[in-house]
Amino acid sequence: MRSIYYFIQLKGYQGSYTTVKRYARLIRESCKHKATIRIETTPGLSAQVDWKENLKLISRNGEVFTINIFLYILGYSRMKYLQLTVDRLQPTLFECFNHAFEKFGGVPEEIWFDNMKTVVDHSKSQFSNVVFNERFRQYAKDAGFKPIACRPFRPQTKGKVEALARTVDRLLVFNNEFEDLEELQALVQQLMEDLNHKEISQAIGTSPSERLDQEALNLKAFDLELLKVYSQLSVPLTRKVSKEALVIFEGRKYSVPVKYIGQTVTCEKEQEDLKVYCDQRLIARHPLSDRPFNYRREDYVEILKSDVFKHLEEDELEAYVDENLQAYDLL
């Protein structure tokens, strides 16, 4: 409040600080008593989605598991889908959606999201104008739902999924009670089944499963095989090429042509290969490997020629390359 008072004084205000405090109190009370409308939906109209992020649980053996739980709730029936994941990457998000659609037999008209980075393109979005990530927008189009970004600071627009996120905290009582990740996944699935079939939802006065049949009749059909493609796509990662003409991918180093030293490139996994791009142009391709260093022969020759070995004759250089590449293979 002092900051506001200081600011308006600089603008010419000559009244007292007490007057400013009294006016601010009136504004706060006015905002506090604005009506809030509960958002309800008709069958098949909407779902809400969010993540329970970085939940830490400890096994019987003292191992710490940091997990995420995908949260999906249908608006009318309150049917819930939970899935444990170890990351929140976009392909994982798509996989979770596919499983949720499959479990409930269809897709709602619209799905409400928080401003998660795998959904919203923050670089192009403004407070009142949200731009969806292009790959996500295409996924939503193929799945047949309209994505809606929740308004910031309006928790009522995503109240159902936020309540579900709080409910998931029940898992914390299983600290030191589970053996491994597989058992933890089973606990998440059991919680989901209990919430859907055994517990009464206070909002609707019945268990969600009793409303599912009516909701399912209004969900839209979808092409699962088409949507599976999205969950199999890799997420491009940007890397800066080192002075040794190497990029790091999944803890391993891979070579690129010398001329790209210092530049930012994109690394993308495609099945069993790593593809490296610069300005959308493919500059290197490697089989994925467990070796710490992975050189293409042509890159290694170029690296040596540009450094202290540029004085060597061609046959000497070739022999040196063969010897060293064999040594790298043994690492």
Residue 140 lies in a domain: yes
Q: Sorting pLDDT into bands at 50, 70 and 90, what band is 280? A: confident
137, 260: one domain:
no
Give pLDDT, residue 156.
Answer: 47
pLDDT for 51 beyond 90: yes
Distance, CA of 83 to CA of 326 (rounded, Å): 45
Residues in the chain: 331
Instruction: Report the alpha-carbon distance of residue 122 to residue 132 in Å, rounded.
Output: 8
pLDDT of residue 77: 95
Same domain, residue pair 64 and 187: yes
Looking at the fold, whether 120 and 11 belong to one and the same domain comes out as: no
179 shares a domain with 54: yes
185 plus 281 within the same structural domain:
no
Is this model's pTM higher than 0.75 or not? Answer: no
In a domain, 37, yes or no: no
pLDDT interval class at 155 (50, 70, 90): very low
For residues 218 and 242, state if they share a domain: no
Q: Is residue 283 part of a domain?
A: yes
- Mean pLDDT value across the chain: 85
Provide the token pair at 244.
Answer: 């040794």
Distance separating alpha carbons of residues 165 and 142, to the nearest angstrom: 28
Residue 20 lies in a domain: yes
| Greater model confidence, 62 or 232 | 62
How many structural domains are present in the chain?
3
The mean pLDDT of 165-188, rounded to a whole number, is 92
Q: Assess whether 210 and 69 both reside in one domain.
A: yes
**pLDDT for res 326:** 66
**Rounded Cα gap, residues 307 and 92, in angstroms:** 43
Does residue 40 lie within any of the structural domains? Answer: no
Residue 38 resides in a domain: no
At which of 231, 246, 281 does a domain end? Answer: 231
pLDDT over 90 at 1, yes or no: no
Domain span at residue 25?
2-32
Q: What is the pLDDT of residues 190-218, one digit of tens each?
A: 999 999 999 998 888 999 999 999 999 99
Instruction: Judge if 190 and 271 occupy the same domain.
Output: no
Average pLDDT over residues 92-99: 96
221 within domain boundaries: yes
Tell whether 150 and 76 lie within a shared domain: yes
Q: Do 199 and 87 share a domain, yes or no?
A: yes
pLDDT at 133: 86
The string over 283-296, giving b where at least 16 C-beta atoms fall within 10 Å of a residue's C-beta and e elsewhere, is bbebeebeeebbbb
Task: Report the CATH number that the domain containing residue 94 is assigned in CATH.
Answer: 3.30.420.10
Q: Is the same domain home to 252 and 203?
A: no
Q: 125 and 150: one domain?
A: yes
Asked whether the predicted pLDDT for residue 324 surpasses 60, the reply is: yes
How far apart (Å, rounded) are the C-alpha atoms in residues 255 and 293? 8
Are 113 and 88 within 8 A, CB to CB?
A: no
pLDDT-derived band at 307, boundaries 50, 70, 90 = low
Which residue blocks in 105-173 are alpha helix, DSSP H? 134-143, 159-167
**Residue 102 token pair:** 């499959």
* Of 126 and 305, the one with more pLDDT: 305
Beta strands in the chain (DSSP E): 46-58, 64-74, 80-85, 110-113, 146-149, 237-240, 246-249, 252-255, 264-270, 273-278, 281-287, 293-294
Q: Is residue 25 part of a domain?
A: yes
Residue 50 has pLDDT above 90, yes or no: yes
